[in-house]
A and B are shown apart, each in its own frame.
Chain A
């Protein structure tokens, strides 16, 4: 009961922090920020959860098995998105050349594959941050 206020506030805020992180990840090409900054925000939400509710409960939210998978396949997702260009006969990481419709200026779709690539990078960054935090905390104890 000692951290009652902290825990309540965190429970209220953390979902919104994560939503904000996802927003930053997806809107990297139309607003400041991007997949790295957004990924950090998402990762920090998990780290904040672990510091407030204790390491065990934090680890239960993000077990090592999951972070290994998200780290690996987040990066692989980037590669797959890059390969879209090659499959369509354009160079690696091609966007408009690969026949992606770029929509209207200033909207989410105007980045083509960029938001999707950003999703992979964001997942990777978030899980890396979580891994770094837990590795150091567990090494310490």
Chain B
């Protein structure tokens, strides 16, 4: 039990990532408000980013920029950070596109509630 707790405490970023991921997934799947769904997606993606960046971190490591003053320093792993920058770009585009779609949906249905939209669609057909 103590070993398990120790593991959890040492790996707390991963633990936080799992909790965040679950919160996000739960929000996406259970909320019918389109904005909340989108926020859920963003939380979920942040969880994955957190996991990646935590994996690349080395405690006590320096910023991974090669300098002449101390080329031998212990650098953190820059690859996950670089990857997650790309991930953030992707996430921004997804968010922007989803917001544009929500605006269009609101204009045609007058609501941002997925359940109401489904009802109105059924009434039309």
Residues of A whose CB lies within 8 Å of any CB of B are: 29-32, 34, 36, 104-106, 132, 135-136, 139-140
Bound-state CA distance A36–B85 (Å) is 8
Instruction: List the A side residues contacting B68 at CB < 8 Å.
Output: 104-106
Q: Are A140 and B103 in touch, CB under 8 angstroms?
A: yes
Establish whether residues A135 and B63, one from each chain, have CB atoms under 8 Å apart when the complex forms: no
Q: How many A-B residue pairs have CB under 8 A?
A: 27
List 27 A-B residue pairs with CB atoms under 8 Å apart, sorted by A's residue number.
A29-B65, A30-B65, A31-B65, A32-B63, A32-B65, A34-B85, A36-B85, A36-B88, A36-B89, A104-B68, A105-B66, A105-B67, A105-B68, A106-B66, A106-B67, A106-B68, A132-B96, A135-B100, A136-B96, A136-B99, A136-B100, A136-B103, A139-B100, A139-B103, A139-B104, A139-B107, A140-B103
Interface size on B, residues (CB 8 A): 14
Q: Mark B101-114, 1 if CB is under 8 A from A, else 0.
A: 00110010000000
Q: What residues of A have a CB within 8 angstroms of the CB of B96 in the complex? A: 132, 136
A91 to B62, CA, bound (A): 32
Question: B85 — which chain A residues lie within 8 A by C-beta?
Answer: 34, 36
With A and B bound together, what is the CA distance between A31 and B104 in angstroms? 41
Q: Which residue of A lies closest to B69 (CB)?
A: A106
B-side contacts of A34, CB under 8 Å:
85
A31 and B96 CA atoms in complex are apart in Å by: 28
Chain A: CB-nearest residue to B103: A139
Q: Given contacts A105-B68, A132-B96, A139-B100, list 15 more A-B pairs with CB under 8 A.
A: A30-B65, A31-B65, A32-B63, A32-B65, A36-B89, A104-B68, A105-B67, A106-B68, A135-B100, A136-B96, A136-B99, A136-B100, A139-B103, A139-B107, A140-B103
Complex: how many Å from CA A140 to CA B68?
A: 52
Closest B residue to A37 by beta carbon equals B85
Q: Which residues of A contact B107 (CB under 8 A)?
A: 139
Chain B residues within an 8 Å CB radius of A30: 65
Cα–Cα, bound, A135→B97 (Å)? 11
Tell me, in angstroms, the Cα distance from A101 to B80 when the chains sit together: 28
Interface residues of B in 54-89 (CB under 8 A from A): 63, 65-68, 85, 88-89
Complex CA–CA separation, A104 to B68 (angstroms): 9
Which residues of A have CB within 8 Å of B65? 29-32
Whole-angstrom CA separation of A29 from B67 in the bound complex: 11
User: B25 to nearest A CB, angstroms?
Assistant: 26
Q: What distance in Å separates the Cβ of A126 from its nearest Cβ neighbour in chain B?
A: 13
- In the complex, A111 Cα to B104 Cα: how many Å? 43
